[in-house]
Copies of this chain bind each other. A is one copy, B any other.
Amino acid sequence: MMIIMHPGATKEQISHVIAHIEESNLSAHVIEGVEQTVIGAVGESHNVSRDVFEVLPGVMSVTRISQPYKLGSRQFHPENSVFPLDGFSVGGDEVAIFAGPCAVESRAQLLEIAQAVREAGANALRGGVFKPRTSPYVFQGLGVEGLEYLAEARELTGMPIVAEVMAVAQVEVMVKYVDVFQIGARNMQNYNLLRAVGETRTPVLLKRGLSATIEELLMASEYILSGGNPRVILCERGIRTYETATRNTTDINAIPVLKNLTHLPVILDPSHSTGDSAYVAAIAKAAIAAGADGLIIEVHNDPAHAISDGRQSLTPESFAKLVRQVKAVAEAVDRRLAPITVGA
């Protein structure tokens, strides 16, 4: 940590800061500049809050040098983490595609979509059963009934299933059904929930919050990792900016930045990051070109009658076309699509 003193800081204030540094079992290194003094606090500081120093008299600001996250950092774990799922793996050379409806609406709808996305080349099936909705007046999900349909779809297609968990109380029942927990953008900093999935051994697909920084996403993953669950997949899904031409702004920079900072797999959700089916394929290709390890895409057999997010859902036909295009881009960047097991 570097503590930057105000230009007019007194010798007493500087001594006081040094005393505090030593109280925290760190050692102090003073650099006297032309206008200002800077004090380095050296030692095991990742459990020392900057606040402790920011409030001392004469302190202007405090800059943390080392990363506040450890378990997810590539610094201490240079190789990519690769997680096997049914028939494929995430985080290695292969590009994985998760697809399915925003919400599980009925048995018939889910099974039809599941088969269609499998044929088109999806590796895993997504489908929401507990839906977070901005309005309390609309459909909120099928709950456990939806989980049963997902299990049936897995049986039918061989694909592992991904569903969003929205509350600690849902973990116990969902852990019996899902192959991957999804933590949605609104819950990225729901720490009780992060801890709860961190205590399971089910992989977690963690979506970036709508206005979360990349560092905050990594800190959120640290909650899961520090619970003993090493299998976290990070997902960029668009951030909120001033631009209104698209529902969100895809932070494509986040892909190479995350791949640089962490060993965890990184995927992108072009359905939410654009909010418009017309732009999903272009952004899916961009994600793979930028180095993403996979995609998660909303597909609906009848977008015009989807209960939610119809606007951003692809039809099975356009999804199949997207898979073919993504395959070409993946190969252009020396990767390949994760294989579909025959007979699945």
Contacts and interface: CB of A to CB of B under 8 A. Distances in A.
Contacts of A167: 167-168, 192
Nearest to A255: B282
Interface string A246-290: 100111111111001000000000000110011100110111111
A34 interface: yes
A70 to B, nearest CB: 9
Given A49-B308, A257-B246, A222 B136 contact: yes
26 contacts: A31-B31, A31-B40, A33-B66, A34-B43, A35-B65, A36-B65, A51-B311, A52-B305, A55-B304, A55-B311, A55-B313, A134-B189, A134-B216, A136-B219, A210-B211, A241-B249, A241-B251, A252-B283, A256-B274, A260-B278, A282-B291, A286-B286, A286-B290, A288-B289, A328-B332, A332-B332
A150 to B, nearest CB: 20
A132 B191 contact: yes
Given A35-B75, A167-B168, 19 more contacts: A20-B304, A29-B31, A31-B31, A51-B310, A52-B305, A55-B303, A55-B304, A55-B306, A55-B313, A133-B191, A166-B191, A167-B167, A190-B190, A210-B211, A211-B211, A243-B251, A249-B251, A252-B283, A253-B274
Nearest to A189: B186
Interface in A9-59: 20, 29, 31-36, 38, 40, 42-44, 46-47, 49, 51-52, 54-56
B243 A239 contact: yes
Given A211-B210, A325-B333, A51 B278 contact: no
A226 interface: yes
A49 B32 CA distance: 20
Given A65-B4, A167-B168, A252-B286, A257 B241 contact: no
B245 A242 contact: no
Contacts of A40: 31, 33, 38
A309 interface: yes
A32 B163 CA distance: 43
Nearest to A256: B282
Interface of A: 2, 4, 7-8, 20, 29, 31-36, 38, 40, 42-44, 46-47, 49, 51-52, 54-56, 63, 65-66, 68, 75, 132-138, 140, 166-169, 186-187, 189-192, 195, 210-211, 213-216, 219, 222-223, 226, 239-246, 249-257, 260, 273-274, 277-279, 282-283, 285-291, 303-311, 313, 325, 328-329, 331-333
